[in-house]
Amino acid sequence: LIESAQAGNGVQVFIGAENELFALSGCSAIIAPYGSREENGRKSLVGAIGVVGPTRMNYSRIVPVVDYTARVISQMLGSPEFHEKDP
């Protein structure tokens, strides 16, 4: 999942069977990278934060919370990529 967060930008949502990790579990994951920065033309990721829950969770509430939390952590770590946008 962390590799997927690094490959994409912002919040990533994996619903049930879209990810083999959750294919048979009836679960989904919402993840967002934090502390991302460019080093030598390559994207470097400090970590990712996320929520694992049932496939029928309230995405409209959880996605913004995960996004906001990742941005706050990034700002606390001093990541310049996230200083341009206020959470």
Q: Which two tokens stand for residue 46?
A: 């400090």
Q: Are 80 and 43 in contact (CB under 8 A)?
A: no
Q: Name the CA radius of gyration of the chain, rounded.
A: 13
Q: Are 32 and 11 in contact (CB under 8 A)?
A: yes
Helices (H), the chain: 2-7, 59-77
| Domains by residue range for the chain, with CATH | 2-82 (3.30.450.40)
Task: Identify the bridge partners of residue 14 per DSSP, sorted by sequence position.
Answer: 29
Read off the pLDDT of each residue in 8-18 and give the average, rounded to a whole number: 82
pLDDT tens digits for 22-75? 767 888 999 998 876 666 666 677 888 999 999 889 999 999 999 999 999 988
Q: Which two tokens stand for residue 22?
A: 């959750």
Per-residue pLDDT band for 1 (boundaries 50, 70, 90) equals: low
pLDDT score of 18: 74
Q: Taking 70 as the threshold, does the pLDDT of residue 20 lie above it?
A: yes
pLDDT score of 61: 96
